[in-house]
């Protein structure tokens, strides 16, 4: 018997928050569809947020392409950069003062460690009897920052176990201070960390349920800890299995691996993309050749989702998706 997945009572405010670093691929489409379906099923509101924090990796032209790809797929949002809404702006590069304000409310310390120094310090700890573990060795906690170098701001998570829950993958526990140590919330070049911005934005945008790929499961306790330290109530989380390439490799946005644009150019119908994903993730019967995003909302049942990722062969996936297009 399937266990019902405990989602908060609706209507839920959900969101999809892509980073404009490359064309959306099949894995992004899957996460977007699940987030869209979870909020629509609850009779809630769906928000689109652009996570362009890193100016070196984000490309403004990609934002338009991503919005177009999502619309092509049949996903509609009630609030977002192009349609506005009561919690605007929906673009992270326009929300920097909010992150600065949040950072100022946390107890952080300046850190001028270089990557090389961190690696060397960790290698030294790893050789010691109780060493290893923490990814930031705490060097700048015990020394004044180097005056000639730009400083990052680091935050030391609380001691003890931090618990979080994913509605699909279950309880998460992390001893953050021991396992990750002090985390950078603003880099030395001034760029705010994703994990600070995501917590601030989800709270300020009133997001009740975060639906996203399983790759962010591990970071979730830390996001919960940051939210609590800021006096915010963290949202509920539902992580979904990933769509991976051969041998479990990531479908990279930047490499254009199985992008929606490529599928479109190959003549795929959006309903074929949705049906392919829904079928391979076990949400609809095997003979479902086409499925609209609207019908995906009705088919979406988190208790039927697998825990294992979907591993695909890109060339075969394109073939299979395009072949479905000829159906009435």
Contact positions vs ligand GLU (CB under 6 A): 17-19, 51, 198, 212, 216
The smaller minimum CB distance to ligand GLU, of residues 18 and 157, is found at 18
Q: Is the peptide bond before 89 cis (omega within 30 degrees of 0)?
A: yes
Straight-line distance from the first to the last Cα atom of the chain, in angstroms, rounded to the nearest whole number:
35
Closest distance of CB 156 from ligand GLU, Å: 23
Minimum CB separation of residue 313 from ligand GLU in Å reads 23
State how far the alpha carbon of 50 is from the alpha carbons of 36, 47, 64, 101, 198, in Å. 15, 10, 10, 20, 11
Which 3 state secondary structure label does DSSP give 239?
Answer: strand
The backbone region for 31, taken as left when phi is positive above 0, alpha when psi lies in -120 to 50, beta otherwise, is alpha
Nearest to 217 by CA among 164, 180, 281: 164
Peptide bond preceding 200 in cis form (omega within 30 of 0): no
Q: Active-site residue 116, yes or no?
A: no
Query: Which residue, 137 or 245, has its beta carbon nearer to ligand GLU?
Result: 245
Q: Which residue of the set 59, 116, 250, 253 is catalytic?
A: 253
CA distance 127 to 197: 35
Nearer to ligand GLU, 50 or 272 (CB): 50
Kindly state the smallest distance separating residue 121's Cβ from ligand GLU, in Å: 29
Nearer of residues 198 and 238 to ligand GLU, judged by Cβ: 198
C-alpha–C-alpha distance, residues 161 and 164, integer Å: 10
CA distance 24 to 282: 22
What is the smallest separation between the CB atom of 42 and ligand GLU, expressed in angstroms? 18
Of residues 243, 241, 242, 244, the one with CA closest to residue 304: 241
- What's the CA angle centered on 204, arms 202 and 206, to 5 degrees? 65
What six digits make up the tokens of 190? Answer: 């001034």
Name which of 199 and 283 has its Cβ closer to ligand GLU: 199
Residue 110 CB, nearest approach to ligand GLU (Å) = 26
Residue 207 or 312: the one with the smaller Cβ distance to ligand GLU is 207
CB of 216 vs ligand GLU, minimal distance in Å: 5
Cα angle at 191 between 189 and 193, to 5 degrees?
Answer: 130
List active site positions. Answer: 253
């Amino acid at each position: 018997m399937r266990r019902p997945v405990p989602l908060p009572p609706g209507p839920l405010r959900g969101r999809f928050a892509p980073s404009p670093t490359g064309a959306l691929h099949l894995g992004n489409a899957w996460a977007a569809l699940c987030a869209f379906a979870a909020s629509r099923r609850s009779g809630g509101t769906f928000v689109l947020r652009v996570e362009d924090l890193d100016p070196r990796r984000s490309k403004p032209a990609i934002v338009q392409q991503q919005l177009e790809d999502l619309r092509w797929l049949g996903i509609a949002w009630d609030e977002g950069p192009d349609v506005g809404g009561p919690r605007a702006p929906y673009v992270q590069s326009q929300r920097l003062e909010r992150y600065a304000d949040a950072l100022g409310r946390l107890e952080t310390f300046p850190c001028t460690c270089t990557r090389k120094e961190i690696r060397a310090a960790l290698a030294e700890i790893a050789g010691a009897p109780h060493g290893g573990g923490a990814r930031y060795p705490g060097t700048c906690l015990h020394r004044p920052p180097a005056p000639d170098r730009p400083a990052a701001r680091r935050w030391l998570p609380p001691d003890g176990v931090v618990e979080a829950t994913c509605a699909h993958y279950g309880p998460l526990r992390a001893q953050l201070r021991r396992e990750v140590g002090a985390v950078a919330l603003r880099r030395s070049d001034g760029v705010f960390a994703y994990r600070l911005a995501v917590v601030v934005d989800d709270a300020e945008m009133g997001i009740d349920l975060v639906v996203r790929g399983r790759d962010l499961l591990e970071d979730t306790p830390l996001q919960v800890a940051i939210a609590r330290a800021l006096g915010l109530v963290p949202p509920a989380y539902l992580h979904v299995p990933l769509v991976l390439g051969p041998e479990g490799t990531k479908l990279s946005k930047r490499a254009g691996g199985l992008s929606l644009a490529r599928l479109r150019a190959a003549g795929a119908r959006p309903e074929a993309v949705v049906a392919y994903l829904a079928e391979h993730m076990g949400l609809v019967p095997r003979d479902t050749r086409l499925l609209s995003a609207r019908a995906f909302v009705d088919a979406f049942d988190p208790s039927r989702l697998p825990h294992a990722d979907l591993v695909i062969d890109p060339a075969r996936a394109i073939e299979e998706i395009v072949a479905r297009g000829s159906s009435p």
